[in-house]
Structures are given as C-alpha cells and as structure tokens.
C-alpha cells in the first residue's frame, strides 16, 4: 500500500495517568480498535508515543488522533507491505522500544471444510505478519543497543482449541511457539518477548456470530462469571511493557477470567 502516513497535530494529554512508559516509542499492529486500540490508549496514557498499523484507515486515523499518535495503513497479508509499514513506523518514531502485535483475524470452519486458501489467509495475518514485524523491529532494537519489549497477542485457543476453529487455534499456537523461540534467541540483546492468551473478550471480532445465549454460556465458564473487556487485556500488556516485567520473557500468559488455569 502506498498511502501516506497520517500524523495528527493534537498535543499529547497534559495530565497523564502515569509515567511508566514515558518517552517510549511503541508500534501497535491491529491498533485501530478492539484490544489493540485499548492497548494504544493505555500506553499513551502512560506517556508512550504511538504508531498504529492497521488496514482500517478511518478507525485507525481516529484512534491515532485520540492518543496523539500516528497512523500508517498496512496490508498484513502482503509481507512486503508489512515490512515497509513497520520500517516506516520505526523511522517516524526515531527507533522502537516496544512492539505490540495485536492484529489478527478469526474465521470459523469445521476442519473437513478448511481450504488451503482459508489456512493460508489465517496464518499470513496471525503468524507470518507477526514474524515480519518482529524481524524488522528486532533489527532496529539490536542496532540501537538498548533492548526492547515485544508483546504478541495469541489466544486461549492456542492452548485449548475449539470445534470449528482449528486453523485459528493452530495459528495462535504458532504465535506462542514463535514467542518462545524469539525470547530464547534475542534475550542476550536485552529484548523480552511474551505472548498474551486472552479468553472470550467482547470486541468486534466474532460479534457477527455472537448471540446473547453464547455470551451467557461463556460467562458460565469463568469463575468470575463474566467475559473479558479489552481493558482487561490492556492492563496485562501494560505490565509486560513496563519495567516491572523486565525479568519476564518467553511466557504465554492467560487472560481468561479463569477459563484456562495453566
């Protein structure tokens, strides 16, 4: 995609909720809405400078304006565009301290009906694009010599699976494995890499097929008796991005309200 980046002229909030990410340079994929959008908001409230990468131009531009950041459109199915957009984001920020890979797609299909096209699309966005953004960001982090943090959004499906979501669960299991290997390979450079495995979070993803009965059923699976909100995941992401998590790497952390306890 050749669209120009969109930079807002709004001043950053004068009063920040905190200072844990003050001056940190953050790239968030899938940051236009949902969990990624809430992470961008939370990080900005802690002083971070944000670049949002997403295919949703209108929503991404609006979110970037809200947090006083920058939006760059990207087609994550295209590895060249993914690499280019990530490099442009890092160049705009003058480096990168934190990469959050939140972009993902969800499709339901019985395994016997999953096509090669279905499989490739799922993995191209949920796993391959993540590898590309990590490669670009990590090279910049190593060159700067100041370490960094990478946070990848997986899913509880990576650990439990579920009928009708075989290719989705497999792609998210790939995220967990990719995270662990990256943590092993890049730890000597001071880079931590962790993944989050959210449970059923009430976002636009899956809303088209979600019924009130589905919500009631899923609420019953959590000891807390409710489903997750984007803020529940953003809070854990903030912990991982903060100095409090400097000695934590290679983990796949459940944010499931107790639906998964391992």
For the chain, give every domain's residue range.
18-252
- Is residue 12 over pLDDT 50? no
User: Using one digit for the tens of pLDDT, what is the confidence trace for 80-125?
Assistant: 999 999 999 999 999 999 999 999 999 999 999 999 999 999 999 9
Helices (H), the chain: 34-45, 57-67, 79-93, 116-123, 129-144, 157-160, 166-186, 212-219, 230-241
Instruction: Show which residues are catalytic.
Output: 168
Give the model's pLDDT for residue 205: 65
Architecture of domain 18-252: 3-Layer(aba) Sandwich (3.40)
pLDDT, mean of residues 4-15: 51
Q: What is the pTM of this model?
A: 0.90
User: Using one digit for the tens of pLDDT, what is the confidence trace for 136-153?
Assistant: 999 999 999 999 999 999
């Amino acid at each position: 995609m050749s669209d120009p980046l969109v930079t807002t002229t709004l001043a950053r909030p004068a009063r920040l909720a905190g200072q844990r990410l003050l001056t940190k340079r953050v790239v968030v994929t899938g940051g236009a809405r949902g969990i990624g959008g809430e992470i961008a908001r939370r990080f900005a409230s802690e002083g971070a400078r944000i670049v949002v990468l997403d295919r949703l131009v209108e929503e991404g531009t609006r979110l970037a304006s809200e947090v006083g950041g920058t939006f760059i459109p990207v087609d994550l199915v295209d590895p060249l565009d993914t690499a280019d957009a990530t490099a442009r984001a890092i160049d705009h920020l003058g480096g990168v301290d934190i990469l959050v890979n939140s972009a993902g797609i969800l499709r339901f299909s019985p395994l016997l009906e999953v096509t090669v096209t279905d499989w490739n699309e799922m993995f191209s966005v949920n796993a391959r694009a993540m590898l590309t953004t990590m490669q670009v960001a990590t090279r910049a982090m190593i060159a700067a010599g100041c370490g960094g943090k990478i946070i990848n959004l997986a899913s509880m499906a990576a650990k439990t699976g579920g009928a009708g979501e075989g290719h989705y669960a497999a792609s998210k299991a790939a995220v967990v494995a990719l995270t662990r290997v990256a943590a092993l390979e890049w730890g000597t450079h001071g880079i931590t890499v962790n993944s989050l495995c959210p449970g059923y979070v009430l976002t636009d993803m899956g809303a088209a097929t979600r019924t009130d009965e589905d919500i009631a059923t899923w609420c019953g699976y959590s000891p807390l008796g409710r489903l997750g909100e984007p803020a529940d995941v953003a809070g854990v992401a903030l912990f991982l991005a903060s100095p409090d998590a400097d000695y934590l790497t290679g983990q796949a952390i459940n944010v499931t309200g107790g639906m998964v306890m391992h």
